[in-house]
Structure 1
Amino acid sequence: MLRNFLKNNNLAKAIYFRVAFILNHEFRLSDLKNIFWYFENYFKIKKTFNSNFITFKFFPCLNDKTSLTPMDPVYFFQDTWMARKIFELKPKYHFDVGSSAKTIGILSQFVPITMVDIRPLPLELPNLNFIKGSILDLPFEDNSIDSISSLCVVEHIGLGRYGDPIDSLGSEKSILELKRVLSIGGVILFSVPVDSSNTVYFNAHRAFTRDYILSLFHDFELLEEKYQYGYELIDNFVPERGFGTGLFMFKKLM
């Protein structure tokens, strides 16, 4: 139906391919309504065009008319949780491995931070230092870091998603390396997906049970835990709720 409409209407065909190209995604029939909305507003603004602006260019933004502010609850909850904990702990210096660069950049304006990632950071900020490195071989001495974080990173290691080698024990090896560099009495802020059973969602990520995470940190003290399920952040792991995100603060004992 849409194909026949475009075939017989040159203007509509031009609009279709122009907007599809700009959006750079697979075009959906539901987008057609937004195209008509776009040009309806275009003709309205042309009637009252501000003459102080001498150039007018097309830049369609067709999918922003949402009823709620778009938000990824995983990153919203875990990043704000980490920010609160860092402000409470007040470390003199903080290290991060692979977490959201945007969040780490913001936090670095309050606490000096060194960020480690396999992918170089193309931007620079005061108080933000970057080191290219792998979570499987961190460029730090044993027991040398007092405050470290790694949010939603460990679950990806060894699944090849980011071009890394396949390793069925990638998550476990990553945790051992984070534990190695943390000083005695030091604190780690850590998050991974949780589920009712240890599960591999190949090649996106793994999910873990609470018991398994605690077993991997058996020699650490659990200071705080939170769990994100949908648009809620709660204090308890609820296996019946299925997939979620666990947020953990651990202290190294020995």
Structure 2
Amino acid sequence: MVLSKLKKNPLLRKCYYFIKSIKQYLTIKPFHTFKEYCWYINQLSELKKKTDNPNFNKIIYYPCLFDNLKTTPLEPTYFYQDSWAAKKLFELKPAKHVDVGSSAKTIGILSQFTPITMVDIRPIELSLDGLEFKKGSILKLPFEDNSVESLSSMCVIEHIGLGRYGDDLDAFGSEKSINELKRILKPGGTLLISVPIDKENIIYFNAHRAFSKKYLFDLLSDFIIMEERYLYGKEVTESFDQDKGFGTVFLMLKKK
């Protein structure tokens, strides 16, 4: 009922997504917090009564109040897309891989079985064997034309030019990003990407863009689509379903 009204009323839809986006900044719940502190104090009191282990006599108060959940919280997009990308990279087994702007946690793990050069506008302050970092922009990558054999950029293209991560505003940021990835990839090279997909092109400012399938695939006309997967909510499918609206597409591409 609510979804059908949102689809019919553009203004209502915009208000809904705006309220949804700022909800994360309005999470102070005094009564719930007070209840959890009472639980914490009770737990602390019970722990102090248990003096069976003489090896731990010192206690430092470090309350973690909101982790006692019935299920493990997971963001479906990153859970599924990163697992998919890891599987593809393991199957491809490139001698060396280049990633542009994907999750540093995921790329760090993947670098332990495939040497990876990671490029991002925001430097990482940690080092790891198998992982080389280069500061750079997806709009001007530090690689020669047709020089990269294996490339990825997961959940990145849709953000470029919206200012969210400190980049300049650019109405064609996503299109330029795709062209730059295409520039550095060798003919026959593999590209793994993921982007939001919807019935039409939409800017969710300043979070990301969503692409219609036709527009996205037109932008990727210089690639052969080797595999496509679509995530709607918590379901991954092999085919696009326009009736489901907003989703995320995972693509394995080969440059022509």
TM-score by length of 1: 0.88
Supply the RMSD in Å over aligned alpha carbons: 1.1
Aligned to 1:44: 46
Aligned-pair distance for 1:32? 2.0
Correspondence for 1:170: 173
Deviations 1:200-250 (A, max 9, x none): 000111111221111001121000000111111111111221221110011
Corresponding position of 2:30: 28
Match of residue 216, structure 2, among 202, 213, 217: 213
- Residue from 127, 130, 133 that aligns with 2:130: 127
- C-alpha separation in 2, matches of 1:40 and 1:242: 47
Q: Deviations over 1:66-111 (max 9, x none)?
A: 1111111100100000000001111110000000001101010100
Aligned to 1:58: 61
User: Equivalents in 1 of 2:60, 2:96: separation in Å?
Assistant: 46
Question: 2:242 pairs with 222, 239, 242, which one?
Answer: 239
After superposition, give the CA deviation of every residue in 1:140-185 in whole Å (9 maximum; x if it has no partner). Answer: 0110001000000011100011111110100000000000100000
2:204 aligns to what? 201
Look up the match of 1:142.
145
> Residue 96 of structure 2 is aligned with which of 93, 107, 113?
93
Deviation per residue, 1:16-54 (Å, 9 max, x gap): xxxxxxxxx734322222111111111111111333213
Counterpart-to-counterpart distance in 1, 2:30 and 2:250? 37
- Alignment partner of 2:160 out of 157, 162, 171: 157
The correspondence for 2:184, drawn from 174, 181, 185, is: 181
Q: 4+ residue stretches of structure 1 with deviation over 4 A?
A: none
Give 1:7-26 correspondences, 5 Å limit: 26=28
SS of residue paired to 2:176? helix
Match of 2:5 in 1: none
Letter of the 2:63 counterpart = P
- Structure 1 CA distance for aligned equivalents of residues 30 and 205 of structure 2: 28
- Code of the aligned partner of 2:194: S
> What is the aligned residue count?
229
| Among 51, 73, 76, the residue aligned to 1:73 | 76
In structure 2, C-alpha distance between the alignment counterparts of 1:33 and 1:242, rounded to whole Å: 39
**Which amino acid in structure 1 is aligned with residue 199 of structure 2?**
S
Give the aligned residue type for 2:48: K
Greater Cα offset, 205-214 or 48-57: 48-57
Measure, in 2, the Cα distance between the counterparts of 1:176 and 1:29. 51
Within the alignment, does 1:227 sit opposite 2:230 as a pair? yes
* Whole-angstrom distance in 1 between the partners of 2:107 and 2:30: 36
Aligned partners of 2:226 and 2:137: how far apart in 1? 27
- Identify which range, 49-58 or 171-180, moves more after superposition: 49-58
Identity %: 56
Q: Give a deviation string over 1:107-127, Cα, whole Å, max 9, x none.
A: 101000000000111111111
How many angstroms apart in 2 are the aligned matches of 1:184 and 1:53?
61
2:252 equivalent to 1:249: yes
> In the alignment, what sits opposite 2:13?
none
TM-score by structure 2 length?
0.87
AA aligned to 2:28 is E
Structure 1, unpaired ranges of 5+: 1-24
